[in-house]
């Protein structure tokens, strides 16, 4: 315990020790320069007697003995000195004084050899000895002023924010394993990112160029094909992911019990496109399927409606399209139940359309409000309800879209044990407003078919997820885990997801995912992730300097393992995240901050040897136009045959809608 009395006692000991050192130096100079002092008449009998008595003690038996003893007492006095600390003081300056002092102090004896006059010898010797003594004292004092404790030079606190990560390779029949390396207290170590349960959902975040596809998604495709998954890939920038899936399937198709078929939906290249009807009648079990399909297609076409769901002028168009879809589903067992037929049927006159729709009892509740508005001449209200659907759906009235969506080359049950499939949906960033809505319908129908019992394990990969509308993602992840469905969603940023899906839906997507991996992101996304990763104990130290003392404080505090600023500054290929585990494979170190290791040369070489996706068929414009005209003719035939049947049947004449 430091007290004033202790410090005062120490000071007295230091002063006494230093005084002894000074007296010894003076006696040394007096003894060995006695001739000069005698010439200067600075001697006295009593002093000679004292000096003689000291000589008998052996103090002056050798020239350097008294000097060494004086120097030793000087060093003892310096040990207890506490000089005023200064950050500007350096060892270089202090040792320069100290060493120079020692050299002058002990080499001053050369003065006796250089000069012949006793007076000159004594003056120069005493002067050099005193100068050397003072320099030693000064250097020692400077050493006591140096701050011996150096604070960390890690400006950005990178080393303090490192933490142990999983270094084991944990594999199972579903896992995704990415080799990585991380930093632990300045040492680079190898690690593994083990997504051992991708069925709990995998969220991939990262701004453009952060490496989502190159470092993460392509490995998911490769590993799941190698492990026998059926696959669904939404390829926003076709054919980046499709080419990888196609070529990897060629190499590993023997790993499947039943070889999967490879299908592509690509509206820009019909020669490399398969036809598929998303409203296939066999998959439309009840009218709720029609409601879901109508909602998906209209909200995909009108993204601003997503935030207004439940409002009258949003729900009315959805009900109208639902009625048309379900009517075609029931008409002749669904022979004309396709989206192109729905679009064309919506365009006919109100009276004829309402009349034939009334023949289907199951949609009576859906169409009665429109008929009432028409009969009561509430045309503004009616046009607002119906035209909102017509205008949006009219953007899909393309011969190419009609051709693709009216064929049946394959069905969307990709994990059918008897016919496994790998399906790729190709989008075009320049046409995403139109294509995105149609692809959203394919995805909505596909997920409902995939999420069923007793099916094969399947992997659903959505690149640039906000470019499509899929309302049921939360339900898919929550319920599909038991059906062996692994869902991967790639998003650039939380704000992008919020802008396209609304805040509520975006929060659901961000929070429901069990596995998260993120490249460089910023803003709210970085804050969300930082909180998700938790806190770790970090060393903290501080130094306080005052006139009499220097104090150093060290402590451990819980701080964010990965601060938002670190996430905002991640390099390409560097990722942070957290993994989910299983009851039988517990992972204690779930969080990671590492760089994914890619064999760039091997991937580049493999990519150079990729086979191009072949043309599945030859489709000319004449075929597309014939299909387009056939759909229009089909709708006219439906209208004419139904109107004739109604007018010729007395029991149905009352169904004819006629405005008074």
Q: What is the pLDDT of residues 423-450, one digit of tens each?
A: 999 998 888 888 989 999 999 999 999 9
- What is residue 89's predicted lDDT score, i.e. its pLDDT? 66
Phi, psi of 324 (to 5 degrees): -65, -45
**The most confident of 13-22, 44-53, 118-127, 598-607, by mean pLDDT:** 598-607
pLDDT digits (tens, 9 = 90+) for 44-94: 777 778 777 777 777 777 777 888 888 888 888 777 666 666 656 677 777
- CATH 2.30.30.830: does it fit domain 176-276+409-608? no
Q: Strands (DSSP E) along 112-166, which ranges? A: none
Euclidean distance between the first and final Cα of the chain, in Å?
A: 106
**How many whole angstroms separate alpha carbon 95 and alpha carbon 101?**
9
pLDDT digits (tens, 9 = 90+) for 276-288: 999 999 989 899 9
**pLDDT of 147 over the 60 cut:** no
Distances (CA, A) of 593 to 14, 206, 520, 537: 55, 14, 12, 16
Q: What's the pLDDT band for 291 if we cut at 50, 70, 90?
A: very high
**Is 499:466 a contact under the CB 8 Å cutoff?**
yes
pLDDT digits (tens, 9 = 90+) for 586-632: 999 999 999 999 999 998 998 899 999 999 889 999 999 999 999 99
- What is residue 247's predicted lDDT score, i.e. its pLDDT? 95
**Residue of 152, 234, 221 whose CA lies nearest to 185:** 152
**How many whole angstroms separate alpha carbon 201 and alpha carbon 203?**
7
**pLDDT of 532 over the 70 cut:** yes
**Is 125:104 a contact under the CB 8 Å cutoff?**
no
Residue 284: how many CB atoms within 10 A of its CB?
22
**How many whole angstroms separate alpha carbon 568 and alpha carbon 526?**
7
**How many whole angstroms separate alpha carbon 18 and alpha carbon 38?**
28
Handedness of CA 544, 550, 555, 559 (dihedral sign): positive
**Residue of 225, 216, 275 whose CA lies nearest to 463:** 216
**The most confident of 211-225, 527-541, 637-651, by mean pLDDT:** 211-225
Residues of the chain with CATH 3.40.50.300: 176-276+409-608
What b/e sequence results for 611-649 when a residue is b if at least 16 CB atoms lie within 10 Å of its CB, and e otherwise?
eebeeeeebeeeebeebbeebeebbeebbeebeeebeee
Structure-block tokens of residue 318? 């959805």
Q: What's the pLDDT band for 203 if we cut at 50, 70, 90?
A: very high
Q: Which residue has the higher pLDDT, 66 or 487?
A: 487
Q: Which residue has the tokens 């104090």?
A: 551
- What is residue 152's predicted lDDT score, i.e. its pLDDT? 58
- What is residue 157's predicted lDDT score, i.e. its pLDDT? 65
Q: Which DSSP helix (H) or strand (E) runs through 380?
A: helix 379-394
**Residue of 220, 211, 200, 193 whose CA lies nearest to 462:** 220
**Is 426:404 a contact under the CB 8 Å cutoff?**
no
> Can you say how many angstroms the Cα of residue 598 is from the centroid of all Cα atoms in its chain?
17
| pLDDT, the chain, mean | 86
Q: What is the mean pLDDT of the segment spanning 272-299?
A: 93
- What is residue 73's predicted lDDT score, i.e. its pLDDT? 83
Q: What is the mean pLDDT of the segment spanning 204-226?
A: 94
> pTM of the full predicted structure?
0.79
By three-state DSSP, how is residue 421 classified?
A: strand
Q: What's the pLDDT band for 504 if we cut at 50, 70, 90?
A: confident
Q: Which residues are paired to 538 by β-bridges?
A: 557
Q: What's the pLDDT band for 392 if we cut at 50, 70, 90?
A: confident
**pLDDT of 217 over the 90 cut:** yes
Distances (CA, A) of 177 to 173, 430, 613: 11, 34, 28
Q: What is the mean pLDDT of the segment spanning 533-549?
A: 69
- What is residue 660's predicted lDDT score, i.e. its pLDDT? 65
Phi, psi of 504 (to 5 degrees): -60, -45
Q: Is 480 exposed, middle or buried (0-12, 13-18, 19+ CB in 10 A)?
A: buried
* Percent of all residues in the chain with a pLDDT value above 70, rounded to a whole number: 93
CB neighbour list of residue 309: distance below 8 Å, 6 or more residues apart: 299, 315
Q: What's the pLDDT band for 145 if we cut at 50, 70, 90?
A: low
Q: What is the mean pLDDT of the segment spanning 134-144?
A: 78
Distances (CA, A) of 101 to 2, 129, 568: 33, 9, 55
Q: Which residues are paired to 556 by β-bridges?
A: 539
Structure-block tokens of residue 410? 């394959």
- What is residue 268's predicted lDDT score, i.e. its pLDDT? 92
């Amino acid at each position: 315990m430091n007290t004033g009395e202790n410090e005062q006692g120490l000071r007295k000991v230091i002063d006494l020790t230093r005084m002894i050192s000074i007296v010894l130096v003076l006696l040394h100079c007096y003894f060995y320069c006695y001739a000069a002092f005698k010439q200067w008449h600075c001697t006295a009998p009593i002093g000679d007697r004292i000096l003689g008595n000291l000589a008998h003690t052996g103090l002056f038996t050798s020239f350097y003995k008294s000097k060494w003893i004086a120097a030793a007492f000087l060093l003892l006095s310096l040990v207890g000195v506490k000089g005023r600390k200064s950050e500007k003081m350096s060892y270089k300056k202090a040792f320069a004084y100290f060493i120079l002092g020692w050299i002058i102090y002990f080499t001053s004896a050369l003065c006796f050899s250089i000069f012949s006059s006793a007076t000159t010898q004594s003056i120069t010797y005493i002067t050099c000895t005193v100068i050397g003594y003072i320099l030693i004292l000064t250097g020692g004092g400077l050493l006591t002023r140096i701050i011996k404790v150096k604070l960390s030079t890690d400006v950005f606190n990178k080393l303090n924010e490192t933490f142990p990560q999983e270094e084991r390779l944990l594999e199972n029949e579903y896992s995704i394993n990415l080799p990585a390396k991380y930093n632990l207290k300045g040492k680079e170590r190898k690690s593994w990112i083990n997504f051992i349960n991708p069925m709990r959902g995998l969220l991939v975040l990262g701004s453009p160029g952060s490496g989502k596809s190159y470092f993460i998604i392509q490995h998911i495709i490769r590993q799941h094909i190698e492990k026998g998954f059926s696959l669904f890939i939404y390829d926003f920038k076709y054919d980046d992911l499709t080419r990888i899936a196609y070529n990897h399937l060629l190499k590993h198709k023997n790993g499947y019990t039943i070889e999967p078929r490879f299908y592509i939906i690509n509206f820009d290249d019909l020669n490399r496109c398969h036809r598929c009807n998303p409203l296939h009648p066999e998959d439309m079990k009840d009218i709720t399927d029609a409601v879901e399909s109508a909602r998906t297609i209209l909200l995909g076409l009108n993204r601003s409606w997503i935030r207004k769901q439940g409002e009258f002028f949003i729900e009315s168009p959805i009900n109208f399209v639902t009625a048309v879809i379900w009517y075609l589903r029931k008409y002749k067992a669904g022979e004309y139940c396709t989206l192109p037929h729905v679009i064309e049927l919506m365009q006919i006159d109100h009276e004829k359309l309402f009349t034939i729709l009334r023949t289907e009892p199951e949609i009576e509740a859906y169409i009665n409000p429109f008929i009432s508005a028409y009969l009561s001449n509430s045309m503004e209200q009616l046009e607002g309800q119906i035209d909102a659907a017509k205008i949006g759906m009219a953007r899909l009235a393309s011969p190419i879209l009609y051709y693709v969506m009216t064929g049946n080359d394959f069905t969307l049950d990709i994990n059918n044990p008897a016919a496994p499939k790998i399906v790729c949906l190709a989008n075009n960033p320049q046409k995403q407003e139109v294509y995105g809505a149609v692809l959203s319908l394919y995805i909505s129908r596909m997920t409902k078919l995939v999420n069923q019992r007793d099916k094969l394990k399947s992997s659903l990969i959505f690149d640039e997820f906000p470019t499509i509308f899929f309302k049921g993602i939360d339900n898919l992840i929550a319920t599909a885990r038991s059906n062996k469905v692994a869902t991967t969603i790639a998003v650039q940023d939380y704000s992008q997801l919020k802008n396209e899906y609304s805040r509520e839906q975006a929060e659901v997507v961000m929070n429901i995912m069990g596995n998260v991996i993120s490249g460089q992101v910023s803003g709210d996304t970085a804050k969300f992730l930082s909180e998700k990763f938790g806190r770790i104990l970090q060393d903290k130290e501080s130094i306080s300097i005052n006139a009499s003392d220097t104090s150093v404080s060290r402590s451990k505090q819980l701080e964010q393992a990965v601060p938002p600023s670190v996430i905002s500054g991640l390099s390409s290929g560097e990722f942070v995240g957290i993994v989910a585990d299983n009851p039988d494979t517990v992972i204690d170190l779930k969080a990671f901050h590492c760089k994914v290791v890619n064999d760039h040369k091997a991937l580049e070489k493999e990519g150079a040897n990729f086979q191009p996706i072949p043309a599945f068929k030859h489709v000319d414009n004449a075929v597309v136009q014939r299909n387009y005209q056939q759909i229009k003719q089909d709708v006219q035939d439906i209208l004419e045959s139904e109107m004739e049947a109604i007018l010729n049947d007395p029991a149905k004449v009352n169904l004819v809608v006629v405005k008074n």
